[in-house]
Amino acid sequence: MDVVEAGHAGFVRTHRHVQAQHPRLLSLADSAIPAGWRGHDVPMLTRPGWIPPRPLPLRAVQLDWHDDHEPPRDQPEARLLMPQLTTYSGALTELAGMSHLYDGTIYRPVRVEATADGLRLGFTTGSYFGHLDHSEVLAYEAAALDLAGKDLADGPYRRALGDPFDLSNRVACLGMVVLTLRVADGRAGFYLHQRNGDQVVSAPNVTHVVPAGEFAPARPGSAARAAGFDLWQAILREYAEEFLDVDEAYTAGGAPPDYDHDPPFREITAAYRSGRLRLHVLGVGLDPLTWTPELLLACAIDDSVFDTLFAGIVRHGKEGTILAGPHGHGLPFDASTVDRYAHDPATRNAARASLKLAWLHRETICNSRVE
């Protein structure tokens, strides 16, 4: 085996470790979080004020655009992790059988601030492959260290980045993490997603909330970027994709959805405007493993509305399997079930944080007493 083949084989072995041992890597990263990187009692990196004392409406999240923000410098420590100096995104598509990955435009977060009224998030333009090469590659580095019996904190790239809260030193995307609850007669059920590691890079083979995705425009181009700079539109698309398996081909350059007239966007938006679908912001935090910022939300939907909107729910989709609970009404939103998943190492940290915060604020979120 020559040097190139050996490098490729090493990448595949390490990538498989990311897929198979992601819960372990998350646990190792979480246990290594310094106390000063925790502003709240959730399993994420947070600053004071990032987790508000009570749920906020979506309008309390202010979005700013920064045209003049400098791109981050190339990190040689990250490049040296890859065989033959290729990129992580290139290795994933060329060596790991993930040729379906698409290098689309993302809204790259460069600032997260807590304000008196909510949260203020600053963005500039970025690319999904840039996110893979600057942020998700931290999971790959952690896997390589774990295989070598070394501590995650010894990673040269992680050390080079230094401050996880400095978003100017890397390309990241904003994850939108939506805990969905079906509410009926003072009780509720929630939905989780067992993610398919062969199809997703972020959080492979773990349990996550559904929907969850990246904040990005619906299609390329500056006009689409400006028109799509809206969290609600992005959340709508994630519901359509992950609950109903709506094709996301429009992100590759096709016609964008008409949110006011196209189903299911029209119906979901109508439920939101009527108050029968209630979206709550729980806070924001950084994933301990990849330092990706994630916006934590809970969405409570009245039972009759949920059953109409998602009558065609696809349990086994391209990205994984939805855990829909008894009769499709969700996993019981009770103390024991929430505690089970909120403390399970196989549950992604952002999902654990969302469950913990949603249970804390259950009466507000469900608009009625939940036992």
Does the pLDDT value for residue 253 go beyond 60?
Answer: no
For residue 106, the 8-state DSSP code is: E
pLDDT of res. 69: 76
> Which whole number is the average pLDDT over 118-128?
96
For residue 116, the 8-state DSSP code is: S
pLDDT of res. 198: 67
Beta strands 175-184 and 293-302, pairing class? parallel
Token digits of residue 155: 């990673």
Beta strands 320-323 and 212-214, pairing class? unpaired
Q: CB-based contacts of 145: which residues, under 8 Å, 6+ apart?
A: 151, 152, 154, 155
Does the pLDDT value for residue 2 go beyond 70?
Answer: no
36: left (phi over 0), alpha (psi -120 to 50) or beta: alpha
End-to-end alpha carbon distance in the chain: 61
pLDDT of res. 71: 79
What stretches of the chain show up as alpha helix (H) in DSSP? 3-20, 22-31, 76-79, 88-95, 128-131, 137-147, 156-161, 222-227, 231-244, 265-274, 303-309, 335-342, 349-360, 362-366
Look at 69-73, 113-117, 230-234 and tell me which has the smallest mean pLDDT. Answer: 69-73
Look at 113-127, 185-199, 351-365 and tell me which has the smallest mean pLDDT. Answer: 185-199
* Rounded Cα–Cα distance for residues 55 and 358 (Å): 9
Sheet containing 119-127, strands listed edge to edge, beginning at the edge strand earlier in sequence: 61-65, 119-127, 105-114
> Which whole number is the average pLDDT over 194-218?
83
Share of the chain above pLDDT 70, in %: 93
Token digits of residue 324: 């829909």
For the chain, give the mean pLDDT. Answer: 90
List residues bridging with 321 in a β-sheet: 194, 316
Does the pLDDT value for residue 312 go beyond 60?
Answer: yes
The answer to whether 215 touches 234, Cβ cutoff 8 Å, is: yes
pLDDT of res. 210: 96
Question: In Å, how far are 111, 178, 191, 212, 345 from 207, measured between CA atoms?
Answer: 28, 13, 10, 11, 9
Give tens-digit pLDDT for 320-348.
899 999 999 999 999 999 999 999 999 99
Q: Is 226 helix (H, G, I), strand (E, B) or coil?
A: helix
Give tens-digit pLDDT for 262-284.
999 999 999 999 999 999 999 99
CA-wise closest residue to 291 among 91, 157, 98: 157
CA-wise closest residue to 243 among 289, 279, 296, 191: 191
